[in-house]
Amino acid sequence: MKKVRYKYRIYPNLEQKAHLAKEFGCVRFVYNWGLKKQLDAISADDKRPNMVALSKQLTTLKKQQDYSWLKDVSSDPLQQTLRHLDKAWNHCFSKRNKRPRFKKRRGDQSISYTTHAFRIFEGELFFAKMKQPFDVRFSRPLPSAPKTATILKDTTGRYFVSFTVELDPQPFPPQNKSIGIDLGLTHFLTASDGEKVENPRYLERDLERLAKAQRQLAKKQKGSKNREKARRKVARIHAQIADKRRDFLHQLSTRLIRENQAIGIETLAVGNMVKNRKLARGISDVGWSGFVGMLEYKAEWYGRELVKIDRWFPSSKTCSCCGHVLETLPLDVRMWNCPRCGAKHDRDINAALNIKCAAGLAVQACGESHLLAERQLSLFQSGFEEAGKQPS
Ligand SMILES: [Zn+2]
């Protein structure tokens, strides 16, 4: 069973927005209150109170006159936020995250409910202590009854509900095909079968719009209503770009996984490339690492093989027909002829073929000549040595 999130846009009315604002506030208060208790305990060399201990203290707190407003909201999300606090500490100890930090009014807001505190009935979503159901756009059907529901409000003022659902993904029907993938800047990807997927450069297209919105934000007076409005506009453009990019990456990764039994991919040293400022914007725009992550989990779900070539090897400079390695191949050379065997290469398709081969996937290139995995392995190793010589 896999836990999967299904996220939908919701459109709360004014009354619901007011109620949610209250819930967000209470949850944030309880989280920060719990964290403060824990930090105090730690600095006094006491045992850090866990969710159970805090939950008991919370019950006492609610009985006090000054904190009775905590009773106006459902207790379920308050319990959930203490559970999240425990999780945040666990992630901190396992070095996955930094120490939990206090939640701010400014950031994204969220409240989570367990299955007791919400229900979906005839396409409407009901929550405990809220009279009216929410207007949800179910853009795709939920595969089964959700275990938790989280209401989110992003910094642009949009509301979403995100359900966790347990899924047992069925493998896709087997395919005979396998491919190698070269990720690049000119094209988002080039596959060894010759397919080229254009880079959707949303950011570039929206950059002008973003720059204009940012200029206007800079002009507005601090603390003014207009500044808040301008800030939202900037955040909205960022969010739109991120949404479009995620949709693009999801569609592409699912299609590649569906059509191919095995995929070889070179994981690039993105960190090094981002240091080059000219390339940096293009790269952070295209979202390569997110794409590889999607391929990874979808391969696992749908019974496919993903082979990552995670060391640098000269995939562009090597002739996929005879194995000849060029001394240099400048970035602007898109086509080249092999000086040894005369094969004419498209730079990216040739690289994708080499990646496929290095991934141990059978390659049939240049008509009758089959590439031997053995030869490629030695190439791979020589690339490895070469890479080792370079200062890191
Ligand atoms: Zn050649």
CB neighbour list of residue 47: distance below 8 Å, 6 or more residues apart: 41
SS3 145: coil
- Tell me, in angstroms, the distance from the centre of ligand 1 to residue 267's CA: 25
Concerning whether 348 is annotated as a catalytic residue, the answer is yes
As a whole number of Å, the CA-based R_g of the chain is 26
- Report pLDDT digits (tens) over 107-128: 889 999 998 889 988 888 998 8
Across the chain, how many H-helices and E-strands are there? 10, 13
Catalytic option among 15, 266, 296, 385: 266
User: What pLDDT score was predicted for residue 382?
Assistant: 47
Q: Which residues surround ligand 1, an ion (CB under 5 A)?
A: 319, 321-322, 324, 338, 340-341, 343
Residue 353 carries which DSSP code? H
SS3 316: coil
- Tell me, in angstroms, the distance from the centre of ligand 1 to residue 237's CA: 47
**Using CA atoms, how far apart are residues 109 and 24, in angstroms rounded to an integer?**
6
- Tell me, in angstroms, the distance from the centre of ligand 1 to residue 178's CA: 23
Which residues in the chain show pLDDT less than 50?
365, 367-392
- Tell me, in angstroms, the distance from the centre of ligand 1 to residue 107's CA: 56
Which sequence spans correspond to the domains of the chain? Answer: 2-167, 182-309, 313-392
User: What pLDDT score was predicted for residue 74?
Assistant: 86
SS3 150: strand
Catalytic option among 23, 76, 285, 348: 348
Tokens of 70: 């905590």
Among 144, 36, 15, 33, smallest CA distance to 78 is for 33
- Report pLDDT digits (tens) over 134-155: 988 887 788 888 999 999 998 8
Concerning whether 182 is annotated as a catalytic residue, the answer is yes
User: What pLDDT score was predicted for residue 284?
Assistant: 54
- Tell me, in angstroms, the distance from the centre of ligand 1 to residue 345's CA: 9
On whether the CB atoms of residues 273 and 284 are closer than 8 A, the answer is: no
Among 284, 276, 277, smallest CA distance to 203 is for 284
Catalytic option among 182, 193, 346, 385: 182
Give this prediction's pTM: 0.69
**Angle formed by the axes of helices 14-43 and 75-93, nearest 10°:** 40
